[in-house]
Amino acid sequence: MPTLHYLSLIFLWPIYLLQAIWVKKTTLKLPEPKGLREGIVRLNNADDSQLSIDTEVVSSSEPNTLSILVIGDSAAAGVGVETQQQALTGQTVQSLTALTSQQTTMTSLQTEPATQASYHKLKWRLIAKSGYSTKNCLNKLNHILSQAHQISADTVIISLGVNDVLSPISVKTWISQQQQLCELLYTSLGCSQIIITSVPPMSAFPALPQPFRWFLGSRANEFNHALTQWIDHSSLPCEQLDMRESLSNATMAEDGFHPSAEIYQHWGKMAARLIQVNTQAKDNHTSANTVQNKTSDR
């Protein structure tokens, strides 16, 4: 049964079309921020949270190095701020470095033995471009992999959906593309965690006039509901990162369409917490297996 926002197309499609053209012509075009798109930092030192490339060459297979990959659209690329340090990748690296430093300090103060962080370095990479849809991102990754470029990631952060909502694509097709993308990340990159960011609340985008804003907001909600349902039933290591409620009153970038520095900071903190939970679970599992093996050897 068609939902209300699709039924509205019968009467309001000329208005939606005119408003879409107006938004495209009048919305401020912001560039992707400057800065590095890959590098390595030390995780156990909060002073080394700046996006940088360590002078020591670290292979992707080194067991003490945690690797993260950020992929997606203009929001993943950081549009809305001036530097990658302020964007999603930079804020995730800073937050994860701070969390790991706190964990190391707390562990050193404990009198009883505790599980220490097994990762000492963080290797990060950003693959994103303004205008990317899920299909565009899938094609880009397939192209990179076909060129024999070596890519690996323990965790992948995905930011996609806005450009899909703006397109005529159906929810069913979008979910199918999301599944293909996640399967590719899991099988080809060997990642153990895939963080999929929900489509942002487009009903709150200042750049969009009503009733076009309402229509796109309803469509974004439809996409998010389908995404939640798919993740709940998928065997892939996917989890959904939803900031819609925690940032309902946040100010957006000057174009009224992209995240501000405040939103990127919150986004990075939430992603870092999910990554920390996943790495701690892996550390605890490894420790439990070690204890069990030692016990069985006696």
What string of DSSP letters covers 117-147? PS--EEEEEEEE-TT--HHHHHHHHHHHHHT
Q: At 188, give phi and psi (nearest 5°).
A: -95, -30
CA atoms within 13 A on the CB side of 90: 24
CA angle 188, 94, 206 (to 5 degrees): 90
Counting the structural domains of the chain, the total is 1
Amino acid identity, position 110 = Q
CA atoms within 13 A on the CB side of 196: 28
C-beta of residue 290 within 8 angstroms of C-beta of residue 124: no
Whole-number average pLDDT of the chain: 86
Q: Is the peptide bond before 211 cis (omega within 30 degrees of 0)?
A: yes
Q: Mean pLDDT over residues 89-115, rounded? A: 73
| pLDDT at position 101 over 60 | yes
Q: For position 272, which CATH number holds?
A: 3.40.50.1110
Report residue 271 as tokens. Answer: 């992603």
Asked if the structure places residue 9 within a domain, the reply is yes
Assigned domain for 103 exists: yes
54 has pLDDT over 60 = no
Rounded distance between C-alpha atoms, residue 7 and residue 248, angstroms: 27
56 phi/psi in degrees, rounded to 5: -85, 130
What is the reported pLDDT for 215? Answer: 97
pLDDT for residue 55: 38
Q: Is 253 exposed, middle or buried (0-12, 13-18, 19+ CB in 10 A)?
A: buried
Q: What is the pLDDT of residue 280?
A: 84
DSSP string, 58-80: --TT-TTEEEEEEEESHHHHTBT
Domain of residue 224: give its range.
4-53+64-107+118-280
CB-based contacts of 20-23 (< 8 A; 24+ apart in sequence): 20/212, 22/209, 23/207, 23/208, 23/209, 23/212
Residue 259 has pLDDT above 70, yes or no: yes
pLDDT mean over 138-149: 89
In a domain, 292, yes or no: no
pLDDT tens column, 201-247: 999 999 999 999 999 999 999 999 999 999 999 999 999 999 877 66
Inside any domain, residue 295: no
Q: What whole-number distance in Å separates Cα of residue 66 and Cα of residue 138?
A: 23
Residue 287 confidence (pLDDT): 46
pTM for the model stands at 0.89
289 domain-assigned: no
Report yes or no on 93 lying in a domain. Answer: yes
Residue 89 placed within a domain:
yes
Q: Domain for residue 294, yes or no?
A: no
